[in-house]
Every structure is written in structure tokens, then in C-alpha cells.
Amino acid sequence: MTVTSALRDPSALDAPSALLEIRDLTLDLSDGTRLLHGITLSVAPGETVGLVGESGSGKSLTARTVLGLTPDRAHIGGSVSVDGRSPLSPAALRAIRRSDAAMVFQDPRAGINPMRTIGDHLTEALRLNEGWSRGRARARAAELLADVRLPSPAEHLDQHPHELSGGMLQRVMIAGALTTAPRLLVCDEPTTALDVTTQAEIVQVLRELCADRGMGMLFITHDLNLAGSLCDRLVVMKDGAVVEEGPALEVLRDPQAEYTKRLVAATPRLSGEDGAVGSGAAGGGPMVQVAGVSKTYRVRGRGEVRAVVGADLEIPAGGALAVVGESGSGKSTLARMIVGLEQTDTGAIRIGGRDTSAVPKGREQRLARAKSVQMVFQDPYLSLDPRIPARQAVSDVLQLHAGLDRAAAGARAMELLAAVGLSEEHAVARPKTLSGGQRQRVAIARALAIEPDLLVMDEATSALDVSVQAQVLDLVAEIRRAQGLTLLFISHDLAVVRRVCEQTVVMRRGEIVEHGATAEILSAPQHPYTRLLLDSVPVPA
């Protein structure tokens, strides 16, 4: 595949000061399948290079190859040099991973042992590689958590991963990558699970690290707005090859490759939209009524935490309501109470006129609730059975709830998987062999299978690249128009919220601080916190 926009300064690859140099990199599986086709790029000290493209384009595989994290028996061609050292033997790669380079992975829960505490995870490298005492290592771990803006960092050291939200856990993973002060940081979608204010803080931390330490960064993302605001240069990949590269703003403002043009066109914007894609679908009485709902938890080391405080909201039948706010604001807790996964402390919840405040008990009650309400969770790896292929995950739901026989359920499952952009190859794959975005598409197809009255999407599109995200949102909008589907949409992407929802609720520390028409809230916010959220949205400068 021809690269349609070459580096503006080709001599950069020959600069001896480059931290990372990749030349003509190829990767073949043992069966001869070629996954990477002649990748060439470089990262200089203090420079951030963005690697962008759709799921399956080879971004993560390129990054993992840099650190020797490749599939078993894969054959690698070309050359990779880290800080002037090449070729890299397995021993050299291990030494580099201990000191000079580190990687932050997309899925924080897959990268940390659920049986160990946060403190154990962060101090292990310091104690093994540096010989530090436990006390000194814990003190440094608390400093690193503070560096990534995790509130009350010392309190989190004795917590386990399940006690932290997805955004909080991603910050732990970034802190872990910084324990050895690497010169090269490889980031694979590190801000996918973060709300806009936390993302802005993390991005600022990464900028400062690059500037203060001369650290180079290879930054993988599907968020083109973020890439344009953070990266010096962009490398666009498709089908394992580079199709365009150059200065970030130049690539985004004047893309040359047709593929890049499609990505830019699919990127949602805060301004210039015509409104929610499903607007006009709402009608009739309320589908969801939440009145005075509260929820308080007791958290070890923190006492009582008021997750939701006196929440009131209403969604008309066929309408779409967005809930936005920082990680820990109570969005997901509110959603879990609405779908019946959490018991309310106070208040009432009604869906379709029926009181659903209590958690359903017994098989019949659970099946009845599931037929009317479905939820797509933020982390698809935890919501999918690792033993079951994608098609079976969808067809099982159709057989249980729709009464279809095996053949009809399988055929309908394939239709749904195709509708969210998955192929027959994906349909027979198990979750562990799918990317994060592909797993999330399986979860969305499964939730839509039984045509629920209410669909709750909890950060369900955050792991999707922009073109697939647009495809999924168009599918949801089509179902809304055709079936009167009601949507509760939780997201930290305010541009997506503008495209999807007519109404928006803003939550902060468990309380609803602003509620109104989405267009009005995003164009003229009344609450200071809402203005902070909008100011934190990345904009290519």
C-alpha cells in the first residue's frame, strides 16, 4: 500500500538521537499470514507520535512489537531500535522493559492481578529492580498516584482493582508504567476509559513528562481530536500498513489519503452538528421515571460514600437522555439501579409505568426485566463469557428470550453482528482473541438482540474507533426510529452526546447539577462544573 503523504522531514529517521526507530517492519504468523507490511516510523526525545486508525489496523501490534510482545512463533522482518540499541534480543528487550521503555495497555483490568492490592502492583518493580524497602516503595507509589491526579492516593494503596472505577484503574496503570522513569512510553488507548476532565489532567501529566524528562511517546488512539491536541506527528494505519503520516494538524486539516478523509469526516464535533440523530423519535408518556433516588456505600478506608444523592430524571418513550460527569460522579451507579443491578436506598424508579425500584428476585422476574431493559457495560471483557464465541453469545440470548430455534437464532445473530461491523471470522472468535472495540460490538449486538424497550449504554462506544462508532450510533438511531427504543446514554464524550441525545443530565459527586436540552447545555452551560467539562474537551490547536 502506498503512503500518500510522506514525512515532511525524511532525515528525521536518520537522526542518531531518535529514541525509537522502526524501519520496514513486517510481521508474519506461523501460517504465513502477514499482519504488518513495511512499517517505518520514528520517535525523537520529547516528541509524541500518534498512531491512529481503526480497530484491526495494526496499531497495537506495531506498538507491542517494539517491546517484544508479539504472538508466539511470529516472524519479524525489518528492524527496531530503542535508544540506539538494535537488533534486540529477548534478553535486551527484557532489560529495556525494566528500565528504558514502558507500555500502558488499553484494558486496565486485564493488566493487573485482581487478587493483589494497588500498592503491591505499583511497588513490585521498585522492590525487585531497585532493591527498595517496602516503606520507601509505598511512598513512591503514593507520589506516582498523586502525579496522575488520583484523589487521596495513599488510601488507594490497600484497595483491590475491583474497588476502583475504570478511569481510576487506568490512572493506576499509567502510574505503574512510570515507576522506572522510562525514556520511551508506549501508550495504547490510555485515556479511553477516562472522562474529559481526567483525560485533560492525564494528557497534561504526559506532556510535562515528555518536556521535563525528554521522554518520547508513541500514543495510540482512535480519538482524532485528542491526537491533534497532544501529538506532534500522526501516523495513520490501515490493514497493517501506513497510509499517511505528517505533522498532526496538517494531517487532520488537509488529509491526503481517502481513508484518512473518512476518519476525519466520521469524527464527532461539539459544534456544527444538526442535533441528535434520533431526535423526533420521542412521544407519549414517560418510559423512565426516577424520583428522589439515593445510594450510599461503605468503602474500606473511606467510610460512607454517597454515590447518588436525590436523583430526579425522566425519559419519554422513544427519547434519549445522556448522563455525563467525571469518573466517580455516580453515573454508572444510577444506571445500575435503573436496570435492577443495585438496590436503591431511597426513592422510586418506574419503567413503563411499573415500579422497578427493587432488584428482581427469581428467574422469572429477572427474565421479565431483561426483556424490557438491556445494558451495555463499559468493560466488555467482563460482561462476555470467555468460553463462548461471539455468534453464540448473541444467539443464546435470542433462543432464551425470543424463543427462536438454533438455526434461526444463529442467522439473526449473524445479521446483528454484521450490523455492528463484525465479520464471519469475528463471529466464531472468543472474546480473548478480539480487540477491545470488537468485544464491545459483540456486547452491543447482544443487547439489541431482543429489542428491549430501554437500552442503557454505559460508556459503550468509548472503545470504538470513529467510523465504527458512527456505524453503531446510526444503528441505534435507526432502531429508535423504527421501534421507539428509549435510550439512557452514559458517556464522557460530549461530542457524541450532542449527536445522540436530545436531553442531558450533568452529575457531580452523586448529585445532578444541571439538566436540560443537550444543545442548550453544550452551547450555554449554566453550572461552573458543566463549563469545566466543556473546557476540558480536547481541540486540535
The DSSP letter of residue 278 is T
pTM for the full predicted model: 0.76
Specify the pLDDT at position 525: 93
pLDDT band of residue 197 (cuts 50, 70, 90) is: confident
**What is 127-184 written as a DSSP string?**
HHHS---HHHHHHHHHHHHHHTT-SSHHHHTT--GGGS-HHHHHHHHHHHHTTT--SE
pLDDT band of residue 272 (cuts 50, 70, 90) is: low
Q: What's the pLDDT tens digit per position in 11-23? A: 334 444 688 999 9
Specify the pLDDT at position 364: 82
**Residue 265: count of CB within 10 angstroms of its CB:** 11
**Beta carbons of 493 and 265 less than 8 angstroms apart:** no
Residue 391, SS3 per DSSP = helix
Which one of 75-84, 212-221, 230-239 scores highest in mean pLDDT? Answer: 230-239
pLDDT band of residue 88 (cuts 50, 70, 90) is: low
Distant-in-sequence contacts of 473-482, Cβ < 8 A, 24+ apart: 473/277, 473/499, 473/500, 474/277, 475/419, 475/420, 475/448, 476/278, 476/448, 476/500, 477/277, 477/278, 479/448, 479/451, 480/278, 480/281, 480/318, 480/320, 481/278, 481/281
Taking CA atoms, 10 is separated from 2, 84, 112, 270, in Å, by 16, 18, 39, 35
Q: What's the pLDDT tens digit per position in 14-63? A: 444 688 999 999 999 888 889 999 999 999 999 999 999 887 888 989 98
Of 329, 294, 298, 322, nearest to 308 by C-alpha is 294
Specify the pLDDT at position 276: 57
The DSSP letter of residue 402 is I
Phi, psi of 286 (to 5 degrees): -70, 140
Residue 274, SS3 per DSSP = coil
Q: Average of pLDDT values for 97-121?
A: 84
**Beta carbons of 518 and 322 less than 8 angstroms apart:** yes
Of 1, 37, 299, nearest to 162 by C-alpha is 299
Rounded CA-CA distance 450/452 in Å is 6
Q: What's the pLDDT tens digit per position in 452-508? A: 999 999 988 877 778 878 878 888 888 888 888 999 999 888 888 998 899 999 999
Residue 10 above 60 pLDDT?
no
Mean confidence (pLDDT) of the chain: 86
pLDDT band of residue 193 (cuts 50, 70, 90) is: low
Rounded CA-CA distance 255/264 in Å is 8
Give all domains of the chain, ordered by start, each with its CATH number: 1-100+184-266 (3.40.50.300), 111-181 (no CATH), 286-352+453-535 (3.40.50.300)
Residue with cell 463462548: 388
By CB atoms closer than 10 A (0-12, 13-18, 19+), residue 141 is buried
